[in-house]
Structure 1
Amino acid sequence: MGALLALASAVLYGLSDFAGGLVSRRASFMATALAGQLGGLALAALLGIFVAAPATTAADLGWGALSGVGTGIGMLFLFRGLTNGSMSVVVPLSAVGGVALPVVVGVAFLGERPAVLAWAGVVLALPALWLVGRTRGGGGSNGAVDALIAGAGIATQYLALAQARPGAGLWPVVSGRVAAILILLPLVLATHPRLPARLAPAAAAAGALAALALACYLLATRQQLVVIAVVLSSLYPAIPVLLGITVLRERLSSRQVTGLLAAAAAVVLLALG
């Protein structure tokens, strides 16, 4: 069940990135990120009411808030990279960074020991994420710094959220959305970016999908090693690629085909492990 929840998180996050990326290309990336977090807060608070939380503590909310700081930073630099037209660098590099750091921390500091098959899945997932995110003509380094910062933010998001105890329900996700909003709001107020009214619902919906993805991830960590849950949840770049084929009629490169096949194999290995 934990693996399925983590995969559901990946699908939802992929849908969120696809929608958010489209909006951020037509409006301010900062305004898009803030609207997304507001939409995520609304949905997370609603879901939190219906999920049992018998022992929510300040520490749990604190871990959620730290996760939200990672979210705010990660989404801000991810959308800025996408706005700069460097998707071929930002998406794969941020995804690999978002996986590699939690794996290192999980093994070195949390004492997690994945099985041999799971380790094979982890090792296979890293190049798969890189290949899936690479697009034609993506050989330049533009956006590399944005990608590294976004990856660090995503890693913080996953690691911190996983530290919240099961008794906290989904309230750490809620506190995370509040923290992300507090990170983004001063920047939006200082720069006065514009988000056309017609795009606001799409931006909010993208954020709501991301919040739901985090809720699925949080539930997955309660049934699965954090290392495995992070890797499975981080396979989300495959979803925008598949949507690009079916919705935008884009063509896959040979690298992306290889990456998708490797990602599918990694899922099988992680599930069996």
Structure 2
Amino acid sequence: MIALLLALGSSLAYGCADFLGGLGSRKAHVLRTVMVAAPASLAVELLLWPFLGASFDTRTLAWGAASGLASAIAFALLYKTLAMGPMNVLSPVTAVVSAVLPVGVGLAQGEDLGLAASVGLPLALASVVLVSAGPGGGSARPARPALLLAFGAGAAIALQLIFLDQAPSGSGVGPLIVGRAVSSAVTLAAAAVMRRRLGSEKPAYVMSAAAGVLDSVANLLFLLGARSGDLAVVAVITALYPAATVLLARRVLAERIHRSQLIGLGTAAVAVSLLALS
């Protein structure tokens, strides 16, 4: 139950962070947004260090750095994807990809699912697909480049989560700190190389920083959830993050929610209930 609640909290935080990051990237080049979001995320993890502890052995450094590199790629691809829109289609597409890969890894590692989880897990995956269903006739259709970016973002997110799960369970927030330090360094280096192409537009500082803070909270909740439960279950519940993005896009941007997405949200509620019984 604790792992499930942590995964739900991670999902909510990821969804809100994605919405703010995508919205902020409409005002300036995506790298300008990430240049604010990544350091803000690192600051949160450094503040948590005295309370949650951290170790930095070789495995922590290796898996943390790998997750940081994947995170930097995910940040850039995801925010660029959501900036192109429509958010209510592209955000769920990333979730489908980000859910499938960790589930495969978790099952390959021999995670033993009970009867309720064996039913709830496929339902949760189905709910992610339903929430990701194509738009209705009155909704804007995403361009092919946006869809390709969404698939790439989903794969990068999946790798980030898998790498975090591989870090030693006693390392505290060490892998998060290493990962965010690496992603911040990669982002700043990329911005320096591409400085002439970034344009003169200023990023939405508050929105971008808030996205980074929420992303850090989401990473922490996922890490704690994966340490106390099965990666396959935690990853799928975390992958429901588009629900928050879709609802915010509906509320703030007046983007249409397709009927299948509503069915997907209902299916997710059933799946979460079953997983809570496992």
State whether TM-score is above 0.5: yes
Moved more, 117-126 or 261-270: 117-126
Q: Which one of 223, 230, 234 corresponds to residue 235 of structure 2? A: 230
Distance 1:252 1:20 in 2: 20
Provide the identity percentage: 37
Aligned to 1:220: 225
Q: Does 1:267 align with 2:272?
A: yes
Please say if 1:98 is aligned against 2:98: yes
What SS does the aligned partner of 2:170 have? helix
Q: 5+ residue gaps in structure 1?
A: none
Structure 1 residue runs of 4+, over 6 Å off? Answer: none
Matched, 1:3 2:8: no
Aligned length in residues: 271
Rounded to whole Å, the distance in 1 between the matches of 2:19 and 2:10 is 14
- C-alpha change, 1:166 and 1:195, in structure 2 (3 Å) is farther
Q: Is the 8 A contact 1:88 1:138 kept in 2?
A: no
Give me the whole-angstrom Cα distance separating, in 1, the residues matched to 2:140 and 2:252.
21
* Offset of residue 196 of structure 1: 5.1
- Give the Cα separation in 2 of the matches to 1:84 and 1:245: 16
Task: Tell me the SS of whatever aligns to 1:126.
Answer: helix
**Contact 2:96–2:132 at 8 Å: present in 1 too?**
no
Alignment-mate amino acid for residue 151 of structure 2: L
Task: Look up the match of 1:144.
Answer: 147
Cα-Cα RMSD? 2.0
In the alignment, is the contact (CA less than 8 A) between 2:18 and 2:78 conserved in 1?
no
TM-score (norm 1): 0.91
Within 2, Cα distance between the matches of 1:118 and 1:89? 27
Match status 1:175 vs 2:174: no
Residue by residue, what CA displacement relative to the aligned partner does 1:196-236 show, whole Å, maximum 9, x if unpaired?
Answer: 55711220111111011101111111210111111111111
1:35-84 per-residue CA deviation (whole Å, 9 max, x = no partner) reads: 1111100111111221134x541211221111111111112111222233
Q: Is the CA contact 2:74–2:156 (under 8 Å) kept in the aligned structure 1?
A: yes
Q: Do the aligned residues in 1 keep the contact of 2:45 with 2:173 (CA within 8 Å)?
A: yes
Contact residue 29 and residue 201 of structure 2 kept, 8 A: no
SS at match of 1:168: coil
| 1:252 aligned onto 2:251 | no
Residue type of the alignment partner of 2:169: P
Deviates more, 1:112-121 or 1:199-208: 112-121
- 1:8-47 to structure 2, matched below 5 A, reads 8-47=9-48
* Matched letter for residue 73 of structure 2: I
The residue type equivalent to 1:45 in the other structure is L
The 2-side partners of 1:246 and 1:143 are apart by: 22
**1:119-143 CA deviation, whole Å, 9 max, x = no partner?**
3222122232233244423375342
Residue 69 of structure 2 corresponds to 69
- Aligned partners of 1:195 and 1:64: how far apart in 2? 33
Runs of 5+ consecutive residues of structure 2 not aligned to the other structure: none
- State the alpha-carbon separation in 1 of the partners of residues 236 and 60 from structure 2: 23
